[in-house]
Amino acid sequence: MSKDAVLDSDRTTYSRFKSSIKKKLAAMARVASSPIVTRWQQLHARCLCASGRPRLLGAARKAPGIVSIKNVFPVMPHVPKKLSIMKTVVTLPSSPAAAVLEGRDNRTEMEKKQKYPSQLPVVQELRCGIAESGDRKTCGNTGCIWKGCRDGTQNEFRAITTMKPSIAPEPEVRIHITGLRNDYYLNILDWSLENLIGIAVGSAAHIWSGGTLQAIESIDLNSSSKYISSLAWIKEGTCLAVGTSDGEVQLWDIETKKRLRNMFGHLSVVGALSWNHYILSSGSHLGSIHHHDVRVAQHHVGTLCQNKKSICSLKWSLTDQLLASGSSDGILSIWPNDPGVKLQSQPLKTIPHSSAVKAMNWCPWQSKVLATGGGMKDGILRVWDINREKIIRSVATDSQICSLLWLPKSSKLMTGQGLPGNQMKIWKYPMLTNSSELYGHKGRVLHIALSPDQSRFLSVAADGIACLWKCYESEESKHSSKVFSSGYLSSLFLESK
């Protein structure tokens, strides 16, 4: 065979090979998660000779061991320092994690439907910026790393994407509390600056460490006819104030485990307590507010009266300049810092609401800002500028607001809700947009208390369940969170769920 015939044979073979490659390219589309070329496009170009053995083409035949594919595929330009990559993320609605397609997916549509017969995948297009650092390229999108190919082919890199599942937060500890009183107008939970938790159950108040949940002490009225209707920790020390259903206010020293004194004066249930240094203010269901100077024998130094309606909330501002009181008839009153006031004294401001003002709290970083939550007939969260008596922002929660808490670290508000959800809602301040919801109760969330380091909070609901939640997690603690054992808790009133 002549030399020209051999060349014609080579040209015919190459033309046939090139035509075959074009057909493959037309039949198979690129996968979006492969930004440059897919793996099957990077195989060395080979052809078969008449004997059936593989033979390299063109320059490769002249220089064995070197493969040239520039005539088959165009050479891709060098990857720039910054670029935008499209990735296809397929999320199955019932799956906790998302699947990312890498390379090819040769399954037919019928095979996919058979594997997921009742699930329709949701496809999202995500863009991310790539920054080079040596042979590793880091994506601007969280959890995505682009690794440069080895062996000198810089144009190749593969997407490795890990998408974290969106799972509703769960409480660290869920505790049964037997005998918990389901009363909207009581305040029977408080968390002290000394990291002590107090909760009233019937005629007893139980105290345990906020750090270990180990039971420390139990205060009992030793009475079958009266119960503890409110409690509050003093800001300085371990003194606990307790209000009772027969109008008595008691002081207990937890360190010495002794009752310091009994203070009388109310004729009805003491439903709310609030400390202003050595002044303890107490509110009763008959509408009166008493100021007690706990340093002196004649403790009753002042009295306020609010329309003879039940006082269901009392809060001294953090600057101790103003006292806010809420009543069952929907009246929010602001009183001056004057412990020696007389009965006929009038509040500085009176702000009416359409239902009881029980959920109420001062903003920790804005001294004249107060948040209130409406009862069953209202359900509106309001943030007030007390100086101007104007609403900064309000939002309808569509349920009874039973408790309210500020979260200083995140500048957010938390509300404990009633029906239909019985959940806790977290609101971004000042816009009051609902950022998240926490579900862990089957009854209305009556009480919420924040730990002194603001890392955890405790919720207590009408279903007799107390839940300990984490407020803020570091990246390390997400992987190794410490879960407290409910076995530490007092067997007098707690049972493991």
Reduced to 3 states (helix: H, G, I; strand: E, B; else coil), residue 109 is helix
pLDDT digits (tens, 9 = 90+) for 250-288: 999 998 888 999 999 999 999 999 999 999 999 999 999
E-assigned strand segments in 307-464: 311-316, 322-327, 331-336, 349-352, 359-362, 369-373, 380-385, 390-396, 401-407, 412-417, 424-428, 433-438, 445-450, 456-461
| Residue 168 CA, distance from chain mean position | 9
- Tell me the C-alpha distance between 298 and 312, whole Å: 26
Tokens of 460: 């207590």
CB proximity list for 94: less than 8 A, separation 6 or greater: 119
Question: Average pLDDT for residues 42-62, to the nearest whole number?
Answer: 42
**Rg of the chain taking only CA atoms, in angstroms:** 35
Residue 34 has pLDDT above 90, yes or no: no
Across 57-61, 140-144, 408-412, 483-487, the highest mean pLDDT is recorded for: 408-412
- The band of 5, judged by pLDDT with boundaries at 50, 70 and 90, is low
| Most confidently predicted of 32-36, 141-145, 310-314 | 310-314
pLDDT band at 403 (very low <50, low <70, confident <90, very high): very high
Specify the pTM. 0.64
- Identify which of 294, 293, 392, 390 has the alpha carbon closest to the alpha carbon of residue 338: 293
Alpha-carbon dihedral angle through residues 256, 257, 260, 266, given to the nearest 10 degrees: 150
pLDDT in tens, 181-207: 999 999 999 999 999 999 999 999 999
At 11 the pLDDT is 54
CA distance 166 to 145: 20
For the cut 80, the answer to whether the pLDDT of residue 470 exceeds it is yes
**Between 202 and 341, whose confidence is greater?**
202
Report the share of the chain in percent with pLDDT over 90: 51
What is 152-171 written as a DSSP string?
Answer: T-TT-EEEEE----------
CA distance 406 to 304: 27
Q: Which of 135-139, 160-164, 254-258, 358-362 has the highest mean pLDDT?
A: 358-362
Give 77-115 pLDDT, tens digit per residue. 444 433 333 333 333 333 333 333 333 344 444 444 443
Query: Hey, is 106 helix, strand or coil?
Result: coil
More confident residue, 393 or 344: 393
CB 292 within 8 A of CB 275: no
Amino acid at 185: Y
Residue 63, pLDDT score: 43
What's the confidence (pLDDT) of residue 343? 66
On whether the CB atoms of residues 226 and 258 are closer than 8 A, the answer is: no
Contacts of 371 (CB under 8 A, 6+ apart): 360, 361, 362, 363, 381, 382, 383, 384, 404, 406, 413
- What is the reported pLDDT for 374? 92
Written as six digits, the tokens of 400 are 């009874």
Rounded to 10 degrees, the C-alpha dihedral 24/27/28/29 comes to 120
The residue assigned the tokens 């938390």 is 414
Say yes or no to pLDDT of 19 above 90. no
**What b/e readout covers 238-248, taking b as 16+ CB neighbours within 10 angstroms?**
bbbbbbbbbbb
CA–CA dist 410, 471 (Å, integer): 9
For 103-134, give one letter per residue: b (16+ CB within 10 A) or e. Answer: eeeeeeeeeeeeeeeeeeeeeeeeebebebee
Q: Are strands 465-470 and 173-177 parallel, antiparallel or unpaired?
A: antiparallel
Task: Supply 193's token pair.
Answer: 């600056």
